[in-house]
């Protein structure tokens, strides 16, 4: 059996995909791997680049933008490895990171979900490899601005995990989809990603479902990679709309009753206060102001979260 199936979902990634794939193949030292790329952007040149420069890659062309969750699920149907590794196209693998995290997972099988340590191009820490799970307290600190005032405080910004530099083995709330390893058996037990999350929030939902199944997401700090954040979003507003749709979807999925209503209210309050501050500073064109104006859109979540579509759409059965 192949050790790991590397799953890369691309969208307008022609400027990043070469460096990513070159690093994946160059840093493959002690494992066997297959690389599966699903291209969500038929209009750009990503697919041709992959076909011409990396013929060993399994390329999937759905002909439309499936979104991240559905794209990952479709690619994972073709996986034959012992593990699947979700990898962003805007990453560069360092020092055999894939082999390192696979060895760590084999030595520590009870965790189920594994992440690494992401860095910026200059070698400094890039914190988005993992986060804490959302809670009423974390949304309250966001709502009143404490998380912005003290972003390195574990108390006032609990989702940011405080001063921790991601340099020790540690259980975390969420492993983000930029670098996420799971045994294929675990992936199938969890039914993959919930496809109602078009983009953003799907990894948080997966982490919550993994914990309910007895797994404990963990960071392997020796598995290092470079990550350029936000390359798949065309504008700051577009990214913000996707991000807050995802947050609202998570709250609507995993919380109920008064807790759910309080969570949605605090998301709205946090955006509203930031919009007010931007207006007072005479910045009416800020992303916060635009996000506030569109609050009715993102608070409802993605269309698939409408009352008539509450049933999660999870990964289909694997290809035989």
Percent of the chain at pLDDT exceeding 90? 85
d(CA 236, CA 244): 12
Question: What does the pLDDT read at residue 143?
Answer: 97
* pLDDT score recorded for residue 282: 84
Taking residues 150-159, report their average pLDDT.
95
**What pLDDT shows up at residue 124?**
95
pLDDT of residue 307: 47
Q: Exposed, middle or buried, 319 (CB in 10 Å: 0-12/13-18/19+)?
A: exposed
pLDDT score of 308: 42
> Looking at the predicted structure, is the pLDDT value of residue 318 above 70?
no
pLDDT, averaged across the chain: 92
Report percent pLDDT > 70 for the chain: 93
Question: Highest mean pLDDT range out of 76-80, 276-280, 281-285?
Answer: 76-80
- Given a cut of 50, whether residue 170 has pLDDT beyond it is yes
pLDDT in tens, 87-100: 999 999 999 999 99
What tens digit of pLDDT does each residue of 218-256 get? 999 999 999 987 555 568 898 999 999 999 999 999 999
pLDDT over threshold 60, residue 316: no
| Nearest-angstrom CA–CA distance, 272 and 293 | 9
Reported as a single tens digit per residue, the pLDDT across 97-144 is 999 999 999 999 999 999 999 999 999 999 999 999 999 999 999 999
How far is the first Cα of the chain from the last one, in angstroms, to the nearest whole number? Answer: 15
Question: How far apart (Å, rounded) are the C-alpha atoms in residues 103 and 109?
Answer: 10
Furthest C-alpha separation in the chain: 61
Residues 36-84 pLDDT 10s: 999 998 888 999 999 999 999 999 999 999 999 999 999 999 999 999 9
Sequential DSSP letters for the chain: --SEEEEEEESS-TTTHHHHHHHHHHT--SS-EEEEEEE--TTSSHHHHHHHH-TTSEEE--SS---HHHHHHHHHTT--SSEEEEE-TTEEE-TTHHHHHHHHHHH-TTS--EEEEEE-TTS-B-GGGEEPPP-HHHHHHHHTTHHHH-TT-TTTSGGGTTT--S-S-EE-SEE-TTEEEEEHHHHHHTTS--TT-SSSSHHHHHHHHHHHTT---EEEEEEEEEE-TTTT-SSHHHHHHHHHHHHHHHHHHH--HHHHHHHHHHHHHHHHHHHHHHHHTT-TTSHHHHHHHTHHHHHT-SGGGSGGG-S---PPPPP-
pLDDT confidence tier of residue 311, bands split at 50, 70 and 90: very low
What is the pLDDT, as a whole number, of residue 140? 97
Summarize the confidence of residues 295-319 as an average pLDDT.
66
Cα-to-chain-centroid distance, residue 309: 23
- Cα torsion at 186, 190, 191, 196 (round to 10°)? -140
pLDDT classification of 284: cutoffs 50, 70, 90: confident
């Amino acid at each position: 059996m192949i050790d790991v199936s590397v799953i890369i979902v691309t969208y307008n990634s022609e400027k990043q995909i070469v460096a990513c794939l070159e690093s994946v193949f160059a840093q493959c030292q002690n494992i066997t791997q297959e690389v599966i790329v699903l291209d969500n952007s038929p209009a750009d040149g990503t697919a041709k680049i992959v076909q011409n420069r990396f013929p060993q890659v399994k390329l999937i062309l759905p002909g439309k933008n499936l979104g991240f969750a559905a794209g990952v699920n479709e690619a994972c149907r073709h996986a034959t490895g012992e593990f699947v590794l979700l990898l962003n196209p805007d990453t560069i693998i360092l020092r055999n990171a894939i082999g390192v995290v696979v060895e760590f997972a084999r030595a520590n099988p009870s965790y189920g979900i594994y992440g690494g340590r992401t860095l910026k191009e200059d070698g400094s820490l890039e914190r988005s490899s993992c986060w804490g799970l959302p809670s009423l307290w974390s949304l309250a600190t966001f709502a009143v601005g404490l998380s912005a005032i003290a972003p390195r405080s574990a108390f006032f910004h609990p989702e940011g995990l405080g001063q921790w530099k991601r340099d020790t083995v540690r259980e975390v709330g969420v492993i983000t989809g930029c670098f996420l390893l799971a045994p294929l058996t675990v992936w199938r037990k969890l039914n993959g990603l919930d496809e109602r999350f078009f983009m953003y929030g799907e990894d948080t939902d997966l982490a919550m479902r993994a914990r309910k199944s007895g797994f404990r997401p963990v960071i392997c700090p020796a598995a290092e990679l470079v990550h350029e954040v936000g390359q798949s979003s065309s504008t700051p507003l577009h990214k913000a709309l996707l991000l807050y749709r995802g947050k609202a979807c998570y709250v609507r999925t995993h919380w109920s009753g008064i807790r759910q209503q309080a969570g949605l209210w605090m998301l709205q309050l946090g955006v509203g206060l930031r919009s007010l501050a931007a207006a007072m500073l005479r910045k009416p064109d800020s992303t916060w102001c635009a996000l506030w104006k569109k609050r009715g859109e993102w608070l409802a979540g993605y269309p698939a979260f409408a009352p008539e579509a509450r049933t999660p759409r999870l990964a289909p059965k694997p290809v035989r």
